Structures are given as structure tokens and as C-alpha cells.
Amino acid sequence: MEPQFFHHALKINLDACYGCTHCMTVCPTEAIRVKNGKAFIYEHKCIDCGMCLKACPANAIQVEQDDFSTIFNYKHRVALYPSVLTGQFPSRYYASQIAAVMLDLGFTHAFEVEHGADFLKKEIPKYQLESEFRPVISSFCPAIIRLIQVKFPSLANHVMQLKPPVDIAAQFYRKHLIDQGLKDEEIGIFYITPCAAKIAAIKSPVGETTSAINGVINMDFIFNRIFRALKQGKAGHRELPDKPTMSPDALSWSLTNGEAAHAKGRSIAIDGVLNSMDFLEQLEDEEISNIDFIEIRACDESCAGGILNHNNRFLTVERLKLRASRYKKDQKKSTDTNPIFEQESYLKMNSRIGAVKPRSMLKMDEDMTRALVKMEKTRRLMCFLPGIDCGACGAPNCQALAEDIVQHKAALTDCIFLQNHMQKHGKLSQETAHNRIEKIWGENRLEKDCKRKGAQDETLF
């Protein structure tokens, strides 16, 4: 039996949601419906990619995070931050200043995630040699792992069973501190995340039982705190440029082609969730073959386009590239090395994750015969639905409505065009039709309301 519970980081704020169709129509896995005037997420379909959050005009999609004060539950508080955090700020601010500000905020240590990538740069080619599955699909992006689980189950075996840089870095840092004599239970490692999927992955890890990370702080929260401090000139005590303690390659790991460039053989890099779905579809059919390694990330421009990033993704890419080229120059004259290799043998023993298990969301029924009946019913319903895919029924398209009807989650009269048609032929009363609309879009939804978005008395927030 597949586990039924999956942690999700994306939640709808019912007070802010006014029930439009933006999130529903962009959701790549068709996980969203509108009921009673509010968006509703089918949890088994959600992959935490965050497309809905980007599309929401009302800021009603929230990303769960640990309250910042929870860091103080630990004596030693580690901020584990991704390089894209440093790419949020103008290049005149060095990564060392950003780390210093995090210490001012209450952390006792700050460590950059991409240190872990230097380890993977060595290990991935070795893994490729021993893997029986080709191509190897990177385990880097947690939204993509979930996408494969729910929509491309036959590719689940191809997901690399090596931990992503963030978990490698967390594991290293914990061991590093324990070796210095600190107590394990007094160390709290907090990941500053640019994405919702990583939060979900930390709260319910795929392919492993526990995580070395204790909590997650959203990047948009930290960004505000850091930017304020930088603006107030509070980072002056650490003007020096950051030292190249990792390779320029590791620093660029989270950017598109950061990883694929170092894999063995023919490797390819894909970003964007829709691009990813197209590609995986073709890969599954073996229309695309003869590839050794696939780096695949849900966000456009990979982590630089993370949904919790504040800054323009292209500027973030530019800044990180500038920083990487500075590292390239600085490394020649410096003796700094990546500390992660102090624990290389420990990491080698602890860098594996279990196989990623499929959990298909597509099946209409566990039982094949019943599923077949349901599918035939769906196809029959599609004879009646108009194929306009307007979303007015509260489902993203006619096909989704038909499937919902078959699963007893919706009714044919939810379709406003069919309502009209049925009323014309005297098969549906105006009253019932109106009730259906209120059931989907909320009571009094069709009443005049001048506070609505774009209306004359709109309050902007």
C-alpha cells in the first residue's frame, strides 16, 4: 500500500482567496478546484511546485514555514542558505556580509548549501557508472521528484539515489559541529528555502526516513530582514569579499546546467515545469533516448527562479555568475579549500537515499475493470461537455470536470453552458442553476461589489 499522507507546504489562505481561476488554470497537475468561492487543493495531486503562488492575484497562496523564533529552541543555530540568496542582493554586497547579517539576526553559524555540490560533482559520475538505469535523473529538485512520482511512475527508478546538495551540506555541518564537541540535540539546522517543494520534502522526505534539517525559513522572510540591515549599513563589519571555499562550479550548481555540465556522457539540462513535463513524457515513450544524465528543475532558470525569491531571476543568475568568475580568479591565489571534504568518508556512507516510489495520481480506480468503466463514462460525458475549458465549473477544464463527475465530486449541472442548454429545454430550473453557481463560486457572488479587484472602491494592500 502506498502511504496516503504527504506533507504539503502550499496552503490556501481562505481569508485572502476570493475564488478566481488563476491558480486552477496554471496548476500543471490539475490539483486545484474552486468550491464555495475558494480555491481547494487535492493533496494527492499537488507537487508543491508553486506555480499557483506565482499566479495568484490575491496573495492567497501561503507557504508554510517554521516561525523564526523556533531557531531559539536550539543553543547552536545554523542558517543553511542557498547561493541564490546571495544573488538576491546587488553585487556590491558580498556573500560574507549577507552571512554576517544572518548571524546578527540570531543564528550562530551560517553555511552555504552549495559546498555540498563539490561532493556531488565527484560522486555523480561514479554513481552513473554503477546505476543500472539509464538515463540517471537528478534528485536535485524536490518538485520534479514529486512530479515523477505522481505523473511519470515508470521513471521513478531513474531518480538518482544520492542526496541533493542541501542534505549533504546539512549532514556535513552537523557532523562538523559534533566533532567540535557540540551536542547533537543542541544543534538546530535551518534551511533558508527559495522553494515550497523543499519544505514539503524536509517535512516528509522521499526515499529517506529523517532529515538532518530541523526547520525551514522562507527566503522572502529572510530577504526582508537582510535587506533592511544592509540598507541601514549594518553589514559594515564584514566588508571583505567572501573567500572561495567552494569551486565556481559548485557555486553555480543550482543554476540551469550547473549540474548536467559535470555529469558523465551525454547530459541535458531542463528547467520549467511545463518543459519538464513535455520532456518526461517523451522520455517515458522512449521517443527520447540515449541520454546518460538529466538535470531537471521545476522553476524557470532553476533555483534562481524559485517561487520565494524576491528578485528578478535573470539578475540573480547574472550575479551568481559574476561571483563564480570572481571565485575562479581568487582560487588561484588562495589556499582555501572546501571544508566538506574533511568529512568525505562520512558523507560517502551517508549520501544515499532509498528508491523513489511511484504514487500515481492518474488512476481512476485501483481496480482495473472499475477504472475502465469510469474511463468509458468519462468519455461519454465528454460528448456533452462543450470543450470550452473555461473553468467556470470550478474545475480547470472539461476533461477534469468529467473525471470529477465520474468520481462523484461534481455534477454535470456545474457546467454553465449545459445549464443554459438544459434551461432552454426546460430540464433545469433557474433556481437550481443559480444554486449550483453559488455552490461553486460562493454565496452572493453575483451581487454588486465595488471592493472587488479592479472595481472602484478596491482597497490595495
Q: Give the footprint of other proteins on this chain (CB under 8 A).
A: 153-154, 156, 281-282, 284-287, 358, 360, 362-369, 371-372, 375-376, 379
Min dist CB 254 to other proteins, Å, is 30
Q: Which is nearer to other proteins, 14 or 372 (CB)?
A: 372
The DSSP result for 234-270, as a single string, is TTGGG-SPPP--S-HHHHTTTSTTTTGGGSSSSEEEE
User: For 113, phi and psi rounded to 5 degrees?
Assistant: -55, -40
Min dist CB 286 to other proteins, Å, is 5
Q: Would you say 345 and 119 are in contact if contact means Cβ atoms under 8 Å apart?
A: no
Min dist CB 288 to other proteins, Å, is 10
Min dist CB 365 to other proteins, Å, is 7
Locate 282 and state its grid cell: 517523451
Round to whole Å and give the CA distance between 446 and 430. 14
Burial 225-242 (b: 16+ CB within 10 A, else e): bbbebbeeeebeebeeeb
Q: Which is nearer to other proteins, 104 or 292 (CB)?
A: 292
User: For 21, phi and psi rounded to 5 degrees?
Assistant: -115, 5
Q: Which is nearer to other proteins, 239 or 285 (CB)?
A: 285
Min dist CB 292 to other proteins, Å, is 18
Q: Which is nearer to other proteins, 123 or 403 (CB)?
A: 403
Q: Which is nearer to other proteins, 103 or 382 (CB)?
A: 382
Q: Which is nearer to other proteins, 331 or 399 (CB)?
A: 399
Q: Which is nearer to other proteins, 67 or 287 (CB)?
A: 287
Min dist CB 35 to other proteins, Å, is 23
Q: Which long-range contacts (CB under 8 A, 24 or more apart) does 223-229 make?
A: 223/85, 223/88, 223/309, 223/310, 225/101, 225/105, 226/89, 226/98, 226/101, 226/102, 226/105, 227/88, 227/89, 229/101, 229/104, 229/105
Round to whole Å and give the CA distance between 349 and 292. 24
The strand pair at 61-63 and 10-12 is best described as: antiparallel
Min dist CB 401 to other proteins, Å, is 15
